[in-house]
Structure 1
């Protein structure tokens, strides 16, 4: 087998691989000889089919397998010897494929873009700032009041229902005058303003009182889950049995016990700890952006054009759907990438390659336990179908990579932060919020 370099320009590589007909024929004969003892054919005993007949019967298929194995072997040997890694799947084409006939040498071309050499980075020179927010008394009090509101009860009231009140009712839903399955209930408690019913339903119950009968006219959304109801007009005959007003729970030891704490002081401590964990998560996102900005300014190397183009196309596609949320399909045609898309793509590709290199050098790995947790978190978005989702991910390498990538990146970021010069700066909750909002504006 002969491998000849045809292109070496920047990161672009090209090679011509020649498989001599003699080697290919020997490989085919070897495969046929291995299979011969197990072959059965009419008129011959098992294992006694002549080689010439085997070659005539199975030769073309075995030839294809031999060619593919030889090409794959040549590619693997090349990458092992050169130490290069292709940025994307190499493009392999057979020269004069249509005119090739048995007995001819097989000539293929292989073209790819190599991943660049990543320069070393002295992580100890990276300077980062970590924002720190303490959970003040006002924040803890606000959180406790929210917990009390969530633990509210409802007491019977006289008069008309207002937004936020609970209406207890019987109802029967009808489409075209016929009651439909799942559209009826008795003694149903509905909090007005909770948006738990079809849009427009709860608004029409504001002002009702116990004993009233109300015909609520609504239309099911076009994208409603039940296809036979989607877009249909409906009437719900409602009988109001009771109107109740919300009563917030008191912030005391009893509230604490409701949330599993022994006392109000213990609940305050838990709330403060939770708030500071939330602040730390937000602060980490701000520090991560600072870290990426710092790394982006420290390194410079050639980028594979194919990776940049693919990333720019992905960015353009994502931004298109953000700007056109009603367009859920992908039949919108090609979306043109701008210089801004390409600039952002270059940053992402450069940082992605750098983080991958730093992670590899630091032997950062995503554990099975971390992957399992990530899959479980994702599966919760599909209630009742968790097992099917889990099995889907196990069989889908691309999905596994999508889940593994952010975990790997976060672990690499933590590794870099542990090596960098990190200073802490105590700020207010409002200042942290502004810093987080600034991330979306950049």
Structure 2
């Protein structure tokens, strides 16, 4: 096949590929000859069907296959010889659309090549790594929060009215059209007002009741209620209030610690300190990563494939649109035109993405099967009861696999750079670290 360059402008390339009629015919004949020994046809012994008959029977289908193979082979050889790496799938277009058998095949191949990424002296990169310790105040604050989650309830003073957040202990009997229904009665039921655990409107009517009160609570079951015999129907619950209790935080002591799986309070404090410092370390790493990416972005400059920048800018514009319009869940809002700011951010992302990919490739950074499995498991937890289906979906979806693999690869490349860069630690308070994290969101 004859290959002629027709465009060489920046990173854009285009080539004319000509497959002569003789070359195409030879490929078809070679395929027929290869298949001939296995072909049976009425009136002929196996392997003895004449070539002209085979060509009449199978020629048209093999012409298409041969064209595709010839183009694929030419493309592979071109990229192997030139060393070009296309930024996106090359565009293949047949130029002589009125082609008929016996004509040469004229195809145009166009693409944008990935640029040559310059070497970076990673030892010249200087970044700060913030280090925050979990002080006693932070541990005590976390303990107090845990105590609230482990809260108990104690009786309010006699005659006290229930308020939102209180627990009322009740007996109740529910009736529809004056008749009790199955599952509509209970005794000594502890109900926290405001928990939304009962039918809409039920808990609100118990705000203000006192121990000893009897109240008829009138509600309607939702139209989508699980029990068809009750869905959409009006009901009356005869309620007897046996106690009104206020929430009290658990005592911060060894007993509370045991509720959270620790041997005693000191052990629980140690676990909290470790968890907080792990969170601080994760936040500090994000701050260091941003600083490192800023330094890398300032160090390198090279041409970017316009198609990649355009695709990334559109993705950014689309994402920001949905962040600004959370009520719009669909994607029928028409095309969103990227702004200059979107394009500038897209250029940074593409530039850094290509740079990190190059550094990672040269350093032979790989994402292991175990790391991918862990990433899939983390995502699968967002779909309780459907974990197996999510695993199967990811296994069959290359794009989803790439979405999960990309951030792992990027973080491993960042770690590789950090090992060679000049990283200095700086001890900061929790508040200073929080401020640094918030500044990331503002950028």
The alignment's TM-score, normalised by the length of structure 1, stands at: 0.90
| Aligned position for 1:402 | 403
Task: Quickly say closer, same or farther: Cα 1:33–1:431, change in 2 above 3 A.
Answer: same
Task: Quickly say closer, same or farther: Cα 1:269–1:376, change in 2 above 3 A.
Answer: same
Give the 3-state SS of the residue equivalent to 2:426 in structure 1.
strand
| Aligned position for 1:67 | 67
| Aligned position for 2:341 | 340
Determine if the alignment matches structure 1 residue 128 to structure 2 residue 105: no
Partner Cα separation in structure 1 for residue 200 and residue 440 of structure 2:
33
Contact 2:200 2:219 in 1 (8 A): no
Task: Quickly say closer, same or farther: Cα 1:434–1:154, change in 2 above 3 A.
Answer: same
| Aligned position for 1:149 | 148
| Aligned position for 1:300 | 301
Determine if the alignment matches structure 1 residue 101 to structure 2 residue 115: no
Q: Kindly state the Cα deviation for residue 337 of structure 1 after the two structures are TM-superposed.
A: 1.0
Q: Kindly state the Cα deviation for residue 175 of structure 1 after the two structures are TM-superposed.
A: 11
Partner Cα separation in structure 2 for residue 346 and residue 218 of structure 1:
57
Contact 2:225 2:232 in 1 (8 A): no
Q: Kindly state the Cα deviation for residue 19 of structure 1 after the two structures are TM-superposed.
A: 1.2
Partner Cα separation in structure 2 for residue 174 and residue 83 of structure 1:
79
Question: 1:110-125 counterparts in 2 under 5 A?
Answer: 110-125=109-124
Give the 3-state SS of the residue equivalent to 2:138 in structure 1.
helix
Question: 1:384-423 counterparts in 2 under 5 A?
Answer: 384-423=385-424
Partner Cα separation in structure 2 for residue 171 and residue 62 of structure 1:
79
Q: Kindly state the Cα deviation for residue 236 of structure 1 after the two structures are TM-superposed.
A: 6.3
Q: Provide Cα deviations, 1:200-222, integer angstroms capped at 9, x if missing partner.
A: 7654543244554454658969x
Task: Quickly say closer, same or farther: Cα 1:144–1:48, change in 2 above 3 A.
Answer: same
| Aligned position for 1:251 | 252
Task: Quickly say closer, same or farther: Cα 1:71–1:180, change in 2 above 3 A.
Answer: farther
Determine if the alignment matches structure 1 residue 263 to structure 2 residue 267: no
Task: Quickly say closer, same or farther: Cα 1:100–1:198, change in 2 above 3 A.
Answer: farther
Partner Cα separation in structure 2 for residue 3 and residue 324 of structure 1:
50
Unaligned residue ranges in structure 1 (runs of 5+):
none
Q: Kindly state the Cα deviation for residue 265 of structure 1 after the two structures are TM-superposed.
A: 1.3
| Aligned position for 1:83 | 83
Q: Kindly state the Cα deviation for residue 25 of structure 1 after the two structures are TM-superposed.
A: 1.3
RMSD: 3.0
Contact 1:256 1:267 in 2 (8 A): yes
Q: Kindly state the Cα deviation for residue 413 of structure 1 after the two structures are TM-superposed.
A: 1.1
How many pairs does the alignment contain? Answer: 434
Contact 1:167 1:240 in 2 (8 A): no
Unaligned residue ranges in structure 2 (runs of 5+):
none
Partner Cα separation in structure 1 for residue 410 and residue 119 of structure 2:
18
| Aligned position for 1:161 | 162
